[in-house]
Structure 1
Amino acid sequence: MNYISTENLTKSYGLKVLFKDISFHINEGDKIAIVAKNGSGKSTLLKILMGKEIADSGTVTINKDIQVVLFDQEIDFEGELNVEEFMMTLDSAPILALKNYHHALHTENADDMEKALAEMEIHKAWDLENEMKQILSQLKITDLEAKMKTLSGGQIKRVALAKLLLETRAEHRHTLLIMDEPTNHLDVDMVEWLENYLSKAMVTLLLVTHDRYFLDAVCDIIWEMEDFNLYVHNGSYATYLENRMIREDNLNSTIDKANNLYRKELEWMRRQPKARTTKSKSRIDAFYETEKVAKTDTRKQKLELDFEMKRLGKKILELKNIDKSFGEKLLLKDFSYQFQRGEKVGIVGKNGAGKSTLLNIIQGLEPCDKGEIETGETIKFGYFSQKGLTYKEDERVIDFIKEVGENFPLANGRTISASQFLRLFLFDDQTQYSPISKLSGGEKRRLHLMYVLYQNPNFLIFDEPTNDLDLPTLTVLENFLLNFQGSVIIVSHDRYFMDRIVDHVLAFEGDGKIKDFVGNFSEYREFKKTQDAGKKNQVEEETQQTPINSDDSKRPQTKNKLTFKEQRELETLEKEMPELEKRRNKIMDQLNNETDYEKISVLSKDLETVSEKLEEMEMRWLELQIE
């Protein structure tokens, strides 16, 4: 079933062309990722498909039997609504049926209840509320009464994501799910959950993402937007890279041939008398076409960041017995670490665990409660933070960079100008002289990155650098960091980026504990899963053990010989008590993870019944032991 077809779409903003005459189709079951540098029109294309933007020319045909749902980077919400009320603002028939059912429960009107029950059956809405709470729970949103205005940016994004996933479940229609950077501000556990959910779900998907592991796990088609065109690649990210390389090699071969022809045709053009009017018009037209190809700039395909780093002394950075708390929340406890020249450290942990606090302490931006920090005299930090750039509203890109310096030193003793440096980061001449305020969000992140590197630091600190950066820029950054001779600290949830760069991991495990793990990020994740599984098995084994299974010498000695009937009763108790205890522990685990109030009530009653029964059996067991 065809969902969307487009023919010859073109979109520009002023003189800036985003894409020109692109055509494509989206069919049921397609899972498509869009890859392009920031400013190429990815988000604009999504908005055109949603009907929020209009193309300059071309047609978009959307099947009337489908709904198109967008998960945008900008989330609209009413701050006074609580989480559950926000989720229930979905405009779908199953949600409306659920609302009417709750209304009928409160009014206790028989006619309303009869009508509501019929709607619930028609729209298959009985499990919808449980599904909503399950999705929210998976995304670590448990307080459904919390006001939206009190949530953090990451929590708002997770609630909005839950709402979107619920909408695709609630509507029993064909749905195209469009997602713009869905993994931004999600921690690794939640990214992996979403990855698993979307890879298994029977959905049609179009997404923009910089997360390459996520892309490979979820999508099997890649759209590449480059040079105003759209190229389709069937397969993995590696397939896309291979196809792109082949295309670029073919382009370079075409340019070489055009250069040879251009030199010959240029000589012919120069020999012709200016006043002569009998020149072959077709040959002259062909000359200008050849010139256009011959002068194609392919330097952007060969980006290298071979910079001259400032000298790094013997002393780098040492942290000694650092403590840090905020109120009763302990972030760092007796933490010590000595950074070495050239090492690349990844810092991981849940949101709020203290990762950014450690970065601030290292740079002297925040004091520690206890401990010492020794920083080498030659150290110059370069900090790429999540806060973004501070700039004047009308300041131009080129002027912003020139505030640092007119030129930048290269490793071979030469220098490059600020303008050349900007070109390395994919800022063309037109963009360089544009106000920073006119840049897209991703372009501002890219400018922030190059602003940090342009200051020529020898100790780089990156706090979530991959958010909103495009894949071409990430590739340039990764290649630079692999050859960087200074020290690097990276806080990131991007598994691919971390695996490619870091030597070992500092993992915030809670209560001030930091695990120093030698290896890359995926290796640490495997280690952690194995460790957690071992702890879980140990707890289960300990739970299954009861006093009656302990060493015989510790049991109370029976004073009198039991009758045959009493002996059989004792054996039965010793067999049933462990099973009943396991059942009690299982109910308690369910209670800890449950957010549905009705289910909590039922589980609480079950727990009370089981606990009373177990207590009776334990008392009888003791009586039989001391008889």
Structure 2
Amino acid sequence: MANLISLERGRLALGTAQLLDGITLGINEGARIGVVGRNGGGKSTLLRVLAGELELDDGRLTRNSVTTVRLLSQADVLSPSATVREVVLGGLAEHEWAGDPRVRDVLDGLLGGHEGEGVGGLDATIGPMSGGERRRVALAAALVEDPDVLMLDEPTNHLDVEGVAWLADHLTRQRTARGKALVTITHDRWFLDAVADRTWEVIDGRVEQYEGGYAAYVLAKAERQRIAAVTAERRDNLLRKELAWLRRGPPARTSKPKFRIDAANALIADEPPPRDDVELVRFASTRLGKDVVDLLDVTVTVGERTLLDRVTWHLAPGERVGVVGVNGAGKSTLLSVIGGEIPLDSGKRKEGVTVQVAHLSQEVRELDRLREHRVIEAVEEIRKVTMLDGKEVSASQLAKRLGFSGGRQQTRVGDLSGGERRRLQILRLLMSEPNVLLLDEPTNDLDIETLTQLEDLLDGWAGTLVVVSHDRYLLERVADHQVALLGDGRVRQLPGGVEEYLQLRGAAGPAAAMRGSAAPTPGAASVPVVDGPSPAEVREARKVMARVEKQLAKIEEREAKVHAQMAEQAEDHQRLRELHETLRAAAQERESLELEWLEAADVVG
């Protein structure tokens, strides 16, 4: 593999912070590199250095004179007077771009079709566009340009689940060609796993390099800590908990990374599941009773659009629901309806007498009045002590778990970064001791380390959780099942999870995907219920799966013993026939149990 860019002993300080401290690394053709690390740790700086936009204090950056590089930063500025055609297609004649399948794929995937319907057409000007639309246009321009080395800084920002899936597929197909490479900063762990074949972690001025995507990175980092003899002393290590989730989660989660399965199993042999669902539901039922929030034949209209059309939905104690949907389909509206914050056009909302709702919106302006407060003061304003995972936790302890160390707790709220303000919002919500938690895009501005800490906190939180997110990994990690809003006013159960949602949207076509907020077809039948299994049916199916897994383990033990006996009695043909019949019976029993497990798994989704 030819080397495209090399950095040797690179050093760079900004102010008093040493962001790059003697780093040596290279980018080879065919490489797809994911860059992770804490916010402010130097990820964007590293990309700017590799792209030649920042001069090093010391060291050397080299690249082939014919190698082209394009960096799409988070702060790309598009001319307000430019058109989509000018930004994305530049000087390409229509027959050039229309006859290029790669360019058409970009237009379909990001702009809603060959004519850019999703952003108002190729001749639409940039000025009136939203931040999300401008980001799609800038990303489309970078992909159409197709440089040798493509560098993307948080490309999944402002993309929905469909957009992230399309981008991952496009990059894995286009960036493996000879002479091409990809380097991307991302906090989207599903995207990282789908795209990257190696991971760089920027930490304390160094760059630690790992083979594989996120799952392989978690394993390798946990192994390094084990070798350093720290895992034995840190029983509650978040990396081990994350690794246990990765190994026990959906099969697709660990099918791509080529890491050592034996090593993974050894690391998590005594690691409990991330959540004790039975205990959490029991405790949630104690706090909430039977009734949480019921929506009965609810309709909500905004302007001429019906966002919810005669929806009936019963939220259960301890239920954990992930919500996906096209932009503008009403996901945030649904959370506000559940929280009782907006009026209904028709229907009824019923709330249990003990329900205490906390709603994390996408706005951070609620912290403006606290600008002069210290972080710890803003948290203690709500409560100084709370209960989490059955234990009493102080405001300072909880703040530390979400990344506010002792010194950082004394920072003025007005001086916090966007990600820190988001963390503070979440802290204040958790300190209020809600038993129904509504989270609207909680991953905005959070790095991977903070996301892992947040998921750890939610693992021990007993209550009903509804989370809207485009972060596919988060939805699978913290929610037990998903529902979808497809723009037709319905709330649809997804037994097959996010994958089923993508299949449904794929059937609608690219232009429809961009226009997902369109109103339902006049006269179309309205289905007022959430189809699919009830929470009780899902819980029963989980019990069946657990029972069957235990029975299958016993069958495997029996089969192992029979194989050992067959080896010992290889000369006794009569006994071998008997043992063979025993194996055949065990195989039939195993097949029956596997079918039972699959049927239950279909219910669980």
d(CA) in 2 for partners of 1:329, 1:414: 46
Q: Which structure 1 segments of 5+ residues have no match?
A: 103-119, 169-173, 257-303, 533-627
Task: Note closer, same or farther for the CA distance 1:323–1:253 as it changes in structure 2 (3 Å cut).
Answer: closer
- Give the C-alpha shift of residue 489 in structure 1: 0.7
Where does residue 189 of structure 1 map in the other structure?
162
d(CA) in 2 for partners of 1:360, 1:181: 28
CA contact (8 A) 2:37 2:201 kept: yes
- Give the C-alpha shift of residue 182 in structure 1: 1.0
Alignment match of 1:507 (pick from 469, 473, 484): 484
1:371 and 2:334 equivalent? no
Three-state SS of the structure 2 residue aligned to 1:206 is strand
Task: Note closer, same or farther for the CA distance 1:315–1:129 as it changes in structure 2 (3 Å cut).
Answer: same
Task: Note closer, same or farther for the CA distance 1:423–1:16 as it changes in structure 2 (3 Å cut).
Answer: farther
- Give the C-alpha shift of residue 204 in structure 1: 0.6
d(CA) in 1 for partners of 2:155, 2:168: 10
Alignment match of 1:333 (pick from 305, 309, 313): 309
d(CA) in 2 for partners of 1:29, 1:350: 33
Alignment match of 1:316 (pick from 283, 288, 292): 292
Alignment of 1:460-539 (within 5 A): 460-518=437-495, 520-525=497-502
Letter in 2 for 1:78: S
Alignment of 1:64-463 (within 5 A): 64-88=65-89, 90=90, 95=91, 98=92, 132=103, 135-139=106-110, 140=112, 141-142=116-117, 143-168=121-146, 175-201=148-174, 202=177, 203-253=180-230, 311-389=287-365, 390-391=367-368, 392-393=370-371, 395-416=373-394, 418-463=395-440
d(CA) in 2 for partners of 1:126, 1:81: 19
Where does residue 568 of structure 1 map in the other structure?
none
d(CA) in 1 for partners of 2:62, 2:421: 33
Task: Note closer, same or farther for the CA distance 1:520–1:503 as it changes in structure 2 (3 Å cut).
Answer: farther
- Give the C-alpha shift of residue 415 in structure 1: 3.4
d(CA) in 2 for partners of 1:25, 1:226: 17
Three-state SS of the structure 2 residue aligned to 1:335 is strand
Tell me the TM-score normalised to structure 1 length.
Answer: 0.65
Task: Note closer, same or farther for the CA distance 1:176–1:128 as it changes in structure 2 (3 Å cut).
Answer: farther
d(CA) in 1 for partners of 2:380, 2:231: 37
Instruction: Kindly provide the CA deviation profile for residues 297-340 of structure 1, in whole angstroms up to 9, marking residues without a partner as x.
Output: xxxxxxx9999989334321111111112232221111011110
Letter in 2 for 1:332: L
CA contact (8 A) 1:503 1:518 kept: no
Percent of aligned pairs sharing the same letter = 38
Task: Note closer, same or farther for the CA distance 1:316–1:13 as it changes in structure 2 (3 Å cut).
Answer: farther
CA contact (8 A) 2:307 2:487 kept: yes
Letter in 2 for 1:209: T
Task: Note closer, same or farther for the CA distance 1:415–1:507 as it changes in structure 2 (3 Å cut).
Answer: closer
Letter in 2 for 1:347: V
Greater C-alpha radius of gyration: 1
Instruction: Kindly provide the CA deviation profile for residues 189-234 of structure 1, in whole angstroms up to 9, marking residues without a partner as x.
Output: 2222211110011331100112223222211011122344321111
Alignment of 1:467-616 (within 5 A): 467-518=444-495, 520-525=497-502
Three-state SS of the structure 2 residue aligned to 1:428 is coil
Instruction: Kindly provide the CA deviation profile for residues 451-480 of structure 1, in whole angstroms up to 9, marking residues without a partner as x.
Output: 332333221111122233222222222233
- Give the C-alpha shift of residue 341 in structure 1: 0.6
Once the two structures are overlaid, the 10-residue window that deviates more, 383-392 or 240-249, is 383-392
Task: Note closer, same or farther for the CA distance 1:432–1:7 as it changes in structure 2 (3 Å cut).
Answer: farther
Where does residue 42 of structure 1 map in the other structure?
43
Three-state SS of the structure 2 residue aligned to 1:513 is coil
d(CA) in 2 for partners of 1:199, 1:130: 16
- Give the C-alpha shift of residue 58 in structure 1: 3.7
Aligned residues: 450
- Give the C-alpha shift of residue 342 in structure 1: 0.6
CA contact (8 A) 2:97 2:103 kept: no
Tell me the TM-score normalised to structure 2 length.
Answer: 0.67
CA contact (8 A) 1:38 1:440 kept: no
